């Protein structure tokens, strides 16, 4: 944050921070207003998402379109060179800045989609975020597709951890079950849970049901946390 540094007040930094804060507040209000309107007018979840994504869009001027056209050929010439460089330096697993837990739901979803290319990386990211932070990040709402992706990931991991019921894989299976229950319990605290469930596709709802069934088959009837999960995620 801007502050008095070595006896000098950093006015430029303060102005920049204030401008950023005002812009973020404007974007938040625009998005929130759009959500309130779209929930009553959208005919489907995809249409709802499109409305929300367009909340902060501004009309493009003729001058801006001309500038885009002028720079198009230059961008095309540089595309292959840049994409090759990115592929050569992109890590296969979470490293560097991605080691830090996300500070917002937007940051979580961005890292999940861009950096978590395998189920192992996704589980690593979920555990790094921690259930407590997940509950805080998604206390208001969570995107249905993101939730569906998390559920599908946990389901695939559970199916693969001990497919033959071997005693040597028992501890790993139990650890994954415990982690999965904690993750789902955290997300289940979201205030718009009923809306989330109504937006799940048939495939996503089936994945959720099968994941809960798998957890039940391992954890048993006496697991109170799992019984609570079944009540929380009872699909309509």
Residues 80 and 159 in one domain: no
Q: Please indicate, yes or no, whether residues 149 and 120 belong to a single structural domain of this protein.
A: yes
pLDDT tens column, 108-135: 999 999 999 999 999 999 999 999 999 9
Answer with the residue of higher pLDDT: 65 or 181.
181
Using left for φ > 0, alpha for ψ between -120 and 50, and beta otherwise, residue 124 falls in: alpha
Same domain? For 79 and 177 the reply is no
Of 45, 74, 90, the one marking the end of a domain is 90
Same domain, 207 and 109: yes
Residue 1 covered by a domain: no
**pLDDT-based confidence at 90, cuts 50/70/90?**
very low
The structural domain count of the chain equals: 3
Q: What is the mean pLDDT of residues 67-91?
A: 50
227 inside domain: yes
Residue 3 lies in a domain: no
Q: Is residue 111 part of a domain?
A: yes
The radius of gyration computed from the CA coordinates of the chain, to the nearest angstrom, equals: 22
CA dihedral (59, 62, 65, 69) in degrees, to 10, reads 170
- How confident is the model over 187-213, as pLDDT tens digits? 999 999 999 999 999 999 999 999 999
164 and 75 housed in the same domain: no
| C-alpha span between 99 and 93 (Å, rounded) | 10
Please give the residue range of the domain that contains residue 81: 60-90
- Same domain for 219 and 104: yes
pLDDT-derived band at 182, boundaries 50, 70, 90: very high
Q: What is the pLDDT of residue 11?
A: 74
Within a domain: residue 107? yes
């Amino acid at each position: 944050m801007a502050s008095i540094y070595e006896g000098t007040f950093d006015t430029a930094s303060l102005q920049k921070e204030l401008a950023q804060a005002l812009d973020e507040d404007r974007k938040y209000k625009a998005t929130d207003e759009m959500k309130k309107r779209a929930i009553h007018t959208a005919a489907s979840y995809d249409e709802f998402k499109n409305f929300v994504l367009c909340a902060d869009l501004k009309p493009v001027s003729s001058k801006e379109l001309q500038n885009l056209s002028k720079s198009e050929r230059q961008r095309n010439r540089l595309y292959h060179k840049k994409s090759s460089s990115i592929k050569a330096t992109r890590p296969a697993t979470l490293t560097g800045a991605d080691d830090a837990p996300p500070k917002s739901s937007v940051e979580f979803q961005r890292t999940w989609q861009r950096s978590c290319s395998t189920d192992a990386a996704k589980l690593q990211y979920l555990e790094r975020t921690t259930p407590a932070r997940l509950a805080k990040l998604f206390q208001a709402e969570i995107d249905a597709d993101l939730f569906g992706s998390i559920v599908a990931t946990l389901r695939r991991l559970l199916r693969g951890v001990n497919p033959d019921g071997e005693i040597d894989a028992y501890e790993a299976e139990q650890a994954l079950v415990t982690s999965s229950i904690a993750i789902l319990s955290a997300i289940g605290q979201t205030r718009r849970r009923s809306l989330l469930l109504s937006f799940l596709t048939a495939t996503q709802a089936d994945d959720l049901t099968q994941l809960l069934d798998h957890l039940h088959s391992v954890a048993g009837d006496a697991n109170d946390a799992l019984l609570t999960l079944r009540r929380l995620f009872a699909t309509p």
